[in-house]
């Protein structure tokens, strides 16, 4: 029988670092998109009552909330990592 306990421990040790790195990249991407939406370079629109309606301000608000949530998750994960 092959002992795979070491492999599992190695996988478990790396997931938090991967999560932190992934969420940091997402925060960076969202932060980069906000100025473009404010400038009108990116436009998120919906078609309502026969007209296109620009939804950038709603998207910016959503992205800011997402950034705040992700930063909270990152902070908790980094604190857990430091506490090991």
pLDDT of res. 53: 94
Instruction: For residue 6, count other CB atoms closer than 10 A to its CB.
Output: 8
Q: Alpha carbon of 30 to those of 3, 59, 62: distances in Å?
A: 43, 10, 10
Could you tell me the pLDDT band of residue 81, with boundaries at 50, 70 and 90?
confident
Task: For residue range 14-72, list pLDDT tens digits in order.
Answer: 778 899 999 999 999 999 999 999 999 989 999 999 999 999 999 999 999 999 999 99
Q: Alpha carbon of 79 to those of 6, 24, 29: distances in Å?
A: 24, 15, 23
Instruction: Report pTM.
Output: 0.76
């Amino acid at each position: 029988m092959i002992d795979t306990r070491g492999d599992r421990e190695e996988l478990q040790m790396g997931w938090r670092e991967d999560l932190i790195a992934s969420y940091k990249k997402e925060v960076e991407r969202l932060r980069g998109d906000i100025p473009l939406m404010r400038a009108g370079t990116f436009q998120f629109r919906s078609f309502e009552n026969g007209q296109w309606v620009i939804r950038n301000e709603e998207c910016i608000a959503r992205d800011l909330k997402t950034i705040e949530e992700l930063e909270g998750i990152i902070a908790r994960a980094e604190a857990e990592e430091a506490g090991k």
